[in-house]
Structure 1
Amino acid sequence: MANTPEKAGEKTKTKLRPVDQAAILLMSLGEQDAAEILKHMGPKEVQRIGAAMTQLNNVQQTDVQAVMGNFLEEVRTLTGLGVGADGYIRKMLVTALGEDKANGLIDRILLGGNTTGLDTLKWMDARSVADIIRNEHPQIQAIVIAYLDADQSAEILTYFPEKVRLDIMMRVASLDTVQPSALQELNDILEKQFSGNAASQTKAMGGYKVAAEIMNNLDGSIEADLMDSIKEVDEDMGNQIQDLMFVFENLKDVEDRGIQALLREVSSEVLIVALKGADDELKEKIFKNMSKRAAELLRDDLETKPPMRLADVEAAQKEILTTARRMADSGEIMLGGGGEAMV
């Protein structure tokens, strides 16, 4: 075995994202073993790792060795088959997927949670989910929207009329807990083979933070109109949701190291388009976290770039925000918005 500078019990440092490390590990295992592991993952985890797999190219041998070495180091912490396994599984999943994404999977594996009818919706495209809940009571619609991941929920909302979106979002923001009977009713709507027994305890769901996360994932024009409508009906609710939202201008509140890490993940072309709609303060924040030469080139590009359509600028800003939220989910950066830290 080749000598390595790392001591026993130490991890090999790598710049790879956690999801890329998971992708490399699975691809190294081979199709059959990787497929068996993926069977135990939820839709978002599968989608993220699958996307990472398709983007891998020219992976360095040193990176593969680092990933495998770190995995084997985790395995070494086991005290024996089945002994200390829960702690190992938790650490491995959090390392591979990030804490937020891993939690649901951990619950299913370690706590024996059953897949419910609601969970099947996570595997469906947004239009199909919208069609399924379109004729249901608005409170049922709100529970579905609050239950699903924010990006999927935001896309589902685009298939509803403006007034319906307003009603659903206000109900999501007002949600706190959901009674078992309500969850059972919702499961009964779905296919019988995916119905599960209602939980014995109420489930925390919805609230201002969930509403803010969904709003963050909406297209700019839809988000702005919906926020205005919410404030017209309940100004305090609208303000509280807005305070929790992380929008493009909030990037000026991110620490410099976080901006530098984000810039390494964003293409120059996307950044140029996005900054066409930014104020001077945010532009200066970006410039000061680049090399002098790179900042000068970016300034020149911004000055020579012709006027852009608002839709293109918003799309570029949304792409950068999506990257920022992904990095925050994996613990690579910390987003600060609305006066409090969001990770």
Structure 2
Amino acid sequence: MAELNNIEDSDLEAGLSPVEQAAIVLLSIGEEQAAAVLRCLERDELMELTQVMSRMSGIKVDTVKSALQSFFDDYRQQSGLHGASRSYLKRSLDLALGSDIANSVLNSIYGDAIRPKMARLQYASPKWLAEFVSSEHVQ
């Protein structure tokens, strides 16, 4: 691992190793968030990464920007993010707004999504609806 004390522009042009980039990202996100990431690592990964982190000092802003840009580029390409689940939103909103307001927000989100479908049922005959539901697989 290259020593990262006072990284020069030539070092930036040559590029940082993935471990050096990870170290910069972890040092940038704060202790609690970094701890959450470190808990997920194998012992040898943890040792290598924390050794690199311990040697870092005097890192130039451009080097940090480059490492963070690389992280976000990789994230965008590999995340496969498909949207938040209801439980994720509930936990996040509970933390941010409290339970009462979170429930109100969720009801407006999910209630609005189902209301138009439910409104169409008012035009279905009760007999047809009963026959349709009776042929459904038991859940």
TM-score (norm 1): 0.20
Q: TM-score, normalised by structure 2?
A: 0.46
Which structure has the higher relative contact order (CA within 8 Å, separation 6+)?
Answer: 2
